[in-house]
């Protein structure tokens, strides 16, 4: 790849957001702990101890400042609508993290934010691209469908943000792939936005997964923001592929976008279906998410996250390799592959099989030490002594 100004912009955008998020998080953690803005363990959570929940603020600062620094408004007319919507969702998410917001008010706020994207940034679906024989969408239906899909993606990410690194890991994977593709087709502003998100999420991932002193959660503010930006990138990806004729044109672009967000989308669909069949409200919280099943099998947070990221990656590769087939058939195949994995996990759980007898805390500590390069600490007497007692 030839080095030029565009290369420099996307690389610096990633590094800028990574730096901003990384320096912001320790300060946010300190303030949150002093003010009691933390998540306490309860019946549905799987963490121990109070953990700050304002990670979304670091993501907003990293993505916002980096994108503003390295894009030009004249080349990125959509930026005002995107940031306006982001600020609305940040306000809603922060209130829900600190207090409790009525779910209907929360949904109304999400719809208003998405309408800003549609009406002021003009980011919306305009075609079904031949799905079930439908192509161009009418203006009103285009707006309604875009609002529905975007709100779905936003809440899907909010629902899967239940274990360390899962939502941010999927966000890193999807935003990096989108950023690379946008760069290749000349959509530099959207490439910068994508890589800015990748950098901010990478900084957050470190503190969320490997953090000890400065561990932090994404919170509703981060999950809503992440879902919104990935929805925007997905819509733009689908729309550009309608007219793109370059060597990077992607057939069945909507199927590839679904594959990139497959874990949150498919798991939300699966859980909602289970709740409806049990005659419960689909919005009633429970522990039927796929990551809950993996934790029940005695996988650690990190192991569960890595497994689901691997599954997500496999579904993306499957979508790209099979993109020339009928799009509806491809989407069904992706869903069936996901459900097959879920079925295997359900069968293992029903048989009472556990991955290891070794306690999760010890395995997670050892894995975290290895990933952070702290091999010396791994061999300290306390860790080795606890390990020997539990083998």
pLDDT of amino acid 384: 34
Q: Is residue 379 part of a domain?
A: no
Weakest-pLDDT range from 91-95, 171-175, 368-372: 368-372
pLDDT tops 80 at residue 277? yes
pLDDT tops 50 at residue 276? yes
| Number of separate domains in the chain | 1
Q: Is residue 225 part of a domain?
A: yes
Tokens read off for 277: 């069949």
pLDDT tops 70 at residue 359? no
pLDDT tops 80 at residue 135? yes
pLDDT of amino acid 73: 86
pLDDT tops 70 at residue 388? no
pLDDT tops 90 at residue 363? no
354 or 151: which leads in pLDDT: 151
pLDDT tops 50 at residue 182? yes
Weakest-pLDDT range from 58-67, 123-132, 135-144, 371-380: 371-380
pLDDT tops 60 at residue 83? yes
Q: Is residue 68 part of a domain?
A: yes
Give pLDDT tens digits for 205-236. Answer: 999 998 778 899 999 999 999 999 999 999 99
Residues 6+ apart with CB under 8 A from 44: 285, 287
347 or 389: which leads in pLDDT: 347
Q: Is residue 377 part of a domain?
A: no
Tokens read off for 349: 């759980």
pLDDT of amino acid 282: 80
Instruction: Please state, in angstroms and rounded to a whole number, the distance separating the CA atoms of residues 136 and 149.
Output: 17
pLDDT tops 50 at residue 338? yes
pLDDT of amino acid 317: 97
Q: Is residue 360 part of a domain?
A: no
Q: How many other CB atoms are found less than 10 A from the CB of residue 272?
A: 15
Mean pLDDT (whole number) for 365-377: 49
Mean pLDDT (whole number) for 76-81: 95
pLDDT of amino acid 211: 78
pLDDT of amino acid 376: 43
Q: What is the mean pLDDT of the chain?
A: 87
Q: Is residue 334 part of a domain?
A: yes
pLDDT of amino acid 380: 40
Mean pLDDT (whole number) for 266-271: 94
Range of the domain at 88: 12-38+48-350
Weakest-pLDDT range from 13-27, 125-139, 266-280, 332-346: 125-139
**What sign results for the dihedral spanned by CA atoms 74, 77, 79, 81?**
positive
Q: Is residue 362 part of a domain?
A: no
Within 13 Å and on the Cβ side, how many CA atoms surround 62? Answer: 32
Mean pLDDT (whole number) for 87-93: 96
Q: Is residue 371 part of a domain?
A: no
Mean pLDDT (whole number) for 24-45: 82
pLDDT of amino acid 46: 55
pLDDT tops 50 at residue 385? no
Share of the chain above pLDDT 70, in %: 86
pLDDT tops 50 at residue 270? yes
Share of the chain above pLDDT 90, in %: 68
Reported confidence tier of residue 391, pLDDT bands at 50, 70, 90: very low
Q: Where are the alpha helices (DSSP H) in the chain?
A: 5-35, 55-70, 79-98, 103-120, 139-160, 166-184, 188-205, 219-243, 253-260, 262-277, 290-296, 301-321, 327-350, 360-371, 375-378, 381-390
pLDDT of amino acid 346: 86
By the 8 A CB rule, do 202 and 228 touch? no
Give pLDDT tens digits for 278-326. Answer: 888 887 777 888 998 899 888 989 999 999 999 999 999 999 999 999 9
């Amino acid at each position: 790849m030839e080095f030029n100004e565009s290369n420099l912009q996307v690389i610096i955008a990633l590094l800028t957001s990574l730096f901003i998020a990384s320096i912001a998080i320790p300060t946010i953690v300190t303030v949150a702990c002093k003010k009691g803005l933390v998540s306490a363990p309860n019946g549905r959570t799987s963490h121990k101890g109070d953990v700050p929940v304002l990670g979304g603020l670091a993501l907003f600062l990293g993505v916002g400042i980096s994108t503003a620094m390295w894009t030009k408004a004249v080349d990125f007319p959509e930026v005002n609508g995107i940031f306006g919507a982001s600020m609305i969702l940040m306000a809603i998410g922060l209130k829900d993290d600190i207090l409790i917001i009525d779910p209907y008010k929360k949904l109304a706020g999400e719809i208003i934010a998405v309408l800003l994207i549609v009406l002021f940034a003009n980011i919306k679906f305009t075609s079904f691209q031949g799905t079930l024989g439908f192509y161009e969408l009418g203006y009103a239906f285009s707006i309604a469908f875009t609002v529905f899909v975007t709100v779905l993606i936003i809440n899907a990410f909010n629902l899967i943000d239940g274990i360390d690194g899962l939502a941010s890991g999927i966000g890193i994977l999807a935003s990096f792939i989108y950023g690379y593709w946008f760069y290749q087709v000349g959509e530099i502003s959207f490439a910068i936005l994508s890589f800015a998100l990748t950098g901010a999420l990478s900084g957050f991932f470190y503190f969320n997964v490997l953090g000890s002193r400065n561990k932090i959660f994404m919170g509703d503010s981060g999950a809503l923001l992440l879902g919104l930006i990935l929805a925007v990138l997905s819509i733009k990806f689908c729309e550009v592929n309608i007219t793109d004729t370059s060597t990077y044109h992607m057939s069945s672009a909507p199927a590839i976008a679904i594959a990139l967000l497959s874990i949150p989308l498919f798991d939300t669909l699966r859980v909602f279906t289970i709740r409806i069949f049990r005659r419960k409200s689909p919005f009633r919280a429970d522990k039927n998410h796929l990551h809950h099943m993996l934790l029940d099998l005695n996988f650690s947070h990190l192991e569960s996250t890595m497994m689901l990221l691997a599954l997500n990656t496999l579904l993306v590769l499957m979508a790209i390799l099979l993109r020339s087939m009928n799009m509806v058939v491809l989407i069904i195949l992706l869903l069936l592959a996901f459900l097959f994995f879920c079925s295997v996990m359900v069968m293992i759980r029903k048989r009472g099989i556990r991955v290891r007898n070794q306690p999760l805390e010890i395995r997670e500590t050892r894995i975290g030490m290895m990933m952070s390069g702290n091999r010396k600490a791994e061999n300290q007497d306390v860790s080795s002594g606890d390990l020997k007692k539990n083998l």
